[in-house]
Amino acid sequence: MTCWPSAASDHSIVITVEGDTYNRAQQILKGKPVTEFTSFKGVEAQRDVVDFILIQQALALGGLDLNYDFSTKTHDDRNLKLIKEGYLLIGFDSFWFSEAHEIESNVYISDPVVSKGDYWAGVYVGKNNHKAQNVRTLQELKQLTFISSKHWGADWKTLEDIAPKSLTHDTDWLAMAKVVSLGWVDAMLAPFNSSSPFEYKENKYHIVAIDGIKVSLNDSRHFLVSKKHPRGKETFEALQKGLKILKDKNAFTKAYKDIGFINSEVNHWKVLNPTSK
């Protein structure tokens, strides 16, 4: 593994990825080649881990033969800039279309891996914040304080539209979870887990989803390839071909459902900010 911006060898392509994502993917793969991994059933993982594994499968299925030199400790906003400027060939994490659209003259945008309107987020509050846990209406939701990141385009726009009591910006998910757990901020948006109870907890935080409500993020998710990179066009063509093969197998939807990112357990929960597709 290298550290950006150290150059890869002539036979490999530098790919930036969050360290936690990379490490969790290696734990899941257990030494298997990524192309041999077949199911996320029973696997504890976040959406970015699914994307990291399945995009490599898509590129291989599309006939692209590349060796990857992974660089960790990066962020979505930095990746967008690197892809836009041609320093990074492709992002191994998907982006919301609202983010991709802003730089579409510099990037190829893949077919969606999550279609517009198909994703709901949970409203997570501190385990001991019983008042917030009793929220059931949009008007009550507006009385809460929220924390999110301006770099998460769909999340931030959704919360701006909801217009809560206050909306604080941070760039670190762990820091957000901690302040919500402590009750310094009431709530944050986060994906549902694979099964209830829907919660995230570690030594320094414990946040839970408000039962019975969800928020619609009315956007689609896509992979991006740099138009400025010398291998951009061939990579995008291979990606599109491979994505079609995986989508014909329902691979992305199945994987997202297996990890709870798209969760049938909350189908009957009330959407507090209904939007049209």
Q: Per residue in 170-197, pLDDT tens?
A: 989 999 999 999 999 999 999 988 778 8
**Mean pLDDT of all residues in 240-261:** 95
pLDDT tens, 19-34? 999 999 999 999 999 9
Q: Half-sphere exposure of 205 toward its Cβ, with a 13 Å CA cutoff?
A: 20
Q: Could you tell me where in the chain the CATH 3.40.190.10 domains are found?
A: 12-115+220-265, 120-216
Which pLDDT belongs to residue 12? 83
Q: Report the CATH fold assignment for 12-115+220-265.
A: D-Maltodextrin-Binding Protein; domain 2 (3.40.190)
Looking at the predicted structure, is the pLDDT value of residue 2 above 80?
no
CATH class belonging to 120-216: alpha beta
Categorize the per-residue pLDDT at 6 as very low, low, confident or very high, splitting at 50, 70 and 90: very low
**Mean pLDDT of all residues in 239-261:** 95
Looking at the predicted structure, is the pLDDT value of residue 3 above 80?
no
Looking at the predicted structure, is the pLDDT value of residue 140 above 80?
yes
pTM, 2 dp: 0.81
**Mean pLDDT of all residues in 197-208:** 94
Which pLDDT belongs to residue 75? 67
Which pLDDT belongs to residue 218? 82
Averaged pLDDT score across all residues of the chain:
91
Categorize the per-residue pLDDT at 5 as very low, low, confident or very high, splitting at 50, 70 and 90: very low
Which pLDDT belongs to residue 78? 83
Looking at the predicted structure, is the pLDDT value of residue 167 above 60?
yes
State the amino acid at position 87 in one-letter form. Y
Q: Say if residues 232 and 110 touch (Cβ distance below 8 Å).
A: no
Which pLDDT belongs to residue 116? 86
Percent of the chain with pLDDT over 90: 75
CA distances 46 to 21, 27, 138, 215, Å, are 8, 13, 27, 18
Which pLDDT belongs to residue 260? 86
pLDDT tens, 147-157? 999 988 889 99
pLDDT tens, 83-119? 999 999 999 999 999 889 999 999 999 999 999 878 8
C-beta atoms surrounding 237 within 10 Å:
15
C-beta atoms surrounding 126 within 10 Å:
23
3-state secondary structure of 70: strand
Looking at the predicted structure, is the pLDDT value of residue 215 above 60?
yes
Which pLDDT belongs to residue 74? 67
**Mean pLDDT of all residues in 213-241:** 96
pLDDT tens, 222-231? 999 999 999 9
Percent of the chain with pLDDT over 70: 94
Looking at the predicted structure, is the pLDDT value of residue 159 above 90?
yes
CA distances 125 to 141, 147, 154, 198, 232, Å, are 12, 11, 20, 11, 42
